[in-house]
Amino acid sequence: MRRLSLVVAFGLLAFALTACSSHVAARHAPSSPFPSKTFFTAGGSGCPHSRPNEPCAARIAKELGFPVLWAPVPAGWTPHRGLVVTEYPVGVYSESEDYYKGGMNVGMISGDTRNEPPGLTPTRAFTWKGSRVTLWTGRLDPSAYPAGFPVGTWHVDARWVTNGHPYTLGVFATPNLGPAGTIPQGEALLLQVLQSQVRYANP
């Protein structure tokens, strides 16, 4: 495969959870219109077989009980999957989306663990939609990647907490998969995506 599961990979990078190597590939969503939380497993569920869209994001937000991030996939970019819900660790649910072009990857997660990403440094803070956002940049510690995942050469994260719920938007580079640019280009892309594309879907 050109890529291993970037939803899981981005979850690993944004969460910086070295224990995430037990994640498994996402299974097919159940046949019901939308799964209850009993279907949310480490493998993932949600709306993984359609392009990210507002109705799907709203259904996930209603199921999880808090607003979730989503963004329409820009022209020229490829979604890895749609919107995916995972349970990791047990009883902790998050929603994620990611898309890529060449070796540049964009991903967003609603409901992460708030762990500080190893190897990244907080560089500045700013306000977005009333929330204080911290920007982290650098090269994620290679030990944060499980065996077999492509190690990124740089990573930019925007992380914040709103009404007790943590959120992450990240851009990371895997140049072995295509052109990936530089950290300043990644930071510029992240800010552009945050300001003009990312939105909340409410329960």
Average pLDDT value for residue range 146-171? 89
Which of 29-33, 74-78, 167-171 is predicted with the least confidence, judged by mean pLDDT? Answer: 29-33
Predicted confidence (pLDDT) per residue in 35-90, tens digit: 333 334 334 457 777 789 999 999 999 989 999 999 999 999 999 888 999 887 77
Predicted confidence (pLDDT) per residue in 65-76, tens digit: 999 999 999 999
**Domains within the chain, CATH numbers bracketed:** 6-201 (3.40.1000)
Instruction: Please indicate whether residue 177 or residue 136 has the higher confidence score (pLDDT).
Output: 136
Q: Does the pTM of the predicted model rise above 0.85?
A: no
Measured between alpha carbons, how far is 139 from 141 in angstroms, rounded to an integer?
A: 6
| pLDDT tops 80 at residue 134 | yes
